[in-house]
Structures are given as C-alpha cells and as structure tokens.
Amino acid sequence: MHRGEIWTAAGREKFSNKPAPVLIVQRDISIPAHQSIIVCRITSNIAVLPFMRLRLQSGDSNGLLLDSDVMADKVLTLRKSDLAQKLGNISEDELERLDELLLFWIGL
C-alpha cells in the first residue's frame, strides 16, 4: 500500500454500505506503523466543486471505469483490512493538486 493508490474498500462506513473506491492519502513512511490508513472517498457522481474535488478521468492507470471525483471533503480513517483490491494509482500531478485541495479544505 502506498500514497496515491486507488483501492476498493469494504462498505462499512456511514457514507456508503457498498464497496467503493478510495485513494490513499497517508504518507508512505507511516503506513507500515499502523493497522489503519487515511483515505479520501472517490465518487462517480461528478460535481462542479473545484475547491474540494479532484477530477479523475477513467483509465487503465487508475483502474476507474467511470470519470470520478476524489473528495477532499471526505477524508476517512479505515482499517487496512477494509481495503480489498488495488485498482491503480493517480499521477504525481494529480497527487500534487489533491495536496492543495486537502490543505485548503482542512485549513492547514
């Protein structure tokens, strides 16, 4: 598991009760040290919210079947065991843009 990877997560959270894609946002160095992991939800319900959503085009590299938004406003901590399958990863440019959105949204 690494920062910038997209995984399917079991649907045991309040926002969804079905498996859904999530993006790992936790820094790599801390991932082995914990049984939990910090992620952002991904949705195919596209919204024009450029200050809190990162648009991803579907494709082989990220494993998404539909264009989707990474929701910087939906940061979750899950058990690593809730992550089922790696779908792909986002580009460095996309990860940098997400960092900007997280900084703005969280207020760091």
Find the mean pLDDT for residues 73-79. Answer: 94
Q: Output the domain CATH number for residue 25.
A: 2.30.30.110
Find the mean pLDDT for residues 58-65. Answer: 95
88: region left, alpha or beta (phi > 0 left; psi from -120 to 50 alpha): left
pLDDT number for residue 13? 54
Domain residues for the domain of 76 are: 5-106
Confidence (pTM): 0.90
pLDDT number for residue 49? 83
The total of structural domains in the chain comes to 1
8 forms bridges with which residues in the sheet? 21, 85
For residues 7 and 39, what is the distance between their CA atoms, to the nearest angstrom? 9
Residue with more model confidence, 44 or 10: 44
pLDDT tens figures, 80-90: 999 999 999 99
Find the mean pLDDT for residues 2-18. Answer: 79
Total residue length of the chain: 108
For residues 61 and 46, what is the distance between their CA atoms, to the nearest angstrom? 20
16: tokens are 């969804």
